[in-house]
Amino acid sequence: MPLVTTEEILRKANDEGYAVGAFNVENMEMVRAVIKACEEMNAPGILQTTPSTVKYADLDMYVAMVSAEAKKADVPIALHLDHGSSFELAMQALRSGYTSIMIDGSKLEIDENIKLSKSVADACRPSRIPVEAELGKVGGKEDDMSCDDPGYTEVDDAVRFVKETGVSSLAVAIGTAHGIYKGVPKLDVDRLSEIKKVVSIPLVLHGASGVPDDAVRECIKRGISKVNFATELRIAFSDGLKEYLQENPDTFDPKKYCTAGSSKVTELVKAKIRVCGSENKA
């Protein structure tokens, strides 16, 4: 089917108490692997790309690949710009055909973050493309983005932020971090419950790679509707390739080792769909 927006799939998740996995993809093999997993699980899916990913190929390339695969699939698929780093990049993604946009002003002071997020939400509204914003700072490092100075989302700030920006979903900082964790992350789930009580739009959990499954489930129980997984997919794809090349050192056919990487991604994404509770929710 044609790409859908995250508005449709996240509203349903929010209403029914499960979450939709949002999976970062880097190449054609990962795109196909994620959509295959969604189809096998009869689950909705969000494929997303960071600014460094759209520098690696470009926005049009990801729109073409994801639309082509989504068209053949029977489950709803959205294409999301993850961590949109500027108004200009958000508008380029909108014009290219992304069906969901994140603007990440979380490093700015709240007034500036509101101004930037509102400007993107206003610009996307006529096209009915939903906008995710972030309040508080998710720590860690992913691609070339890093945050050494994480900060939790304040409940009162979240109410003001949502009201003044008009965004469609909100990424909250409750103790997760992007990238690989050194220890077990300690999540402030009570803060999440407090935010959920006063914010009605879908809430997003970033930095879910390495968060134990039970902790992800607890966050969903307390109100998370979208869970972002990136690092674990990159590791799965790379591990599949490495294993294949180790066992078949003389191979020179990318189709062979890329297929090994894709299979690992599909298995991982299916497991994450189970954790999110979105199996059979297409």
Two structure tokens written together for 253: 């056919």
Least Å from the CB of residue 82 to ligand 13P: 5
Residue from 188, 255, 252, 185 nearest 219 by CA: 188
Least Å from the CB of residue 251 to ligand 13P: 29
Interface positions with ligand 13P (CB under 6 A) = 24, 82-83, 142, 178-179, 206-209, 228-232
Q: Please pick, among 74, 82, 143, 188, the residue that the annotation labels catalytic.
A: 82
Residue from 137, 170, 171, 143 nearest 231 by CA: 143
The smaller minimum CB distance to ligand 13P, of residues 257 and 276, is found at 276
149 assigned to active site: no
Q: What amino acid is encoded at 218 in this protein?
A: E
Least Å from the CB of residue 72 to ligand 13P: 26
Sign of torsion, CA 141 230 9 218?
negative
The smaller minimum CB distance to ligand 13P, of residues 83 and 196, is found at 83
Least Å from the CB of residue 218 to ligand 13P: 17
CB–CB of 223/207 below 8 Å? no
DSSP state of 211: S
Residue from 247, 264, 238, 244 nearest 256 by CA: 244
Phi-psi domain of 273 (left: phi exceeds 0; alpha: psi -120 through 50; beta: other): alpha
The smaller minimum CB distance to ligand 13P, of residues 173 and 257, is found at 173
Q: Cα(161)–Cα(114) distance, rounded to whole angstroms?
A: 6
Least Å from the CB of residue 187 to ligand 13P: 13
Q: Which residues contact 236 (CB under 8 A, 6 or more apart)?
A: 261, 264, 265, 267, 268
The smaller minimum CB distance to ligand 13P, of residues 167 and 244, is found at 167
- Show the beta-strand stretches assigned E in the chain: 20-24, 45-49, 77-84, 100-103, 131-135, 139-142, 145-147, 169-172, 177-178, 203-205, 224-229
Residue from 54, 45, 134 nearest 94 by CA: 54
The smaller minimum CB distance to ligand 13P, of residues 117 and 257, is found at 117
Least Å from the CB of residue 78 to ligand 13P: 14
Q: Computed over its alpha carbons, how large is the radius of gyration of the chain?
A: 18
The smaller minimum CB distance to ligand 13P, of residues 257 and 266, is found at 266
| Residues tagged active-site | 82
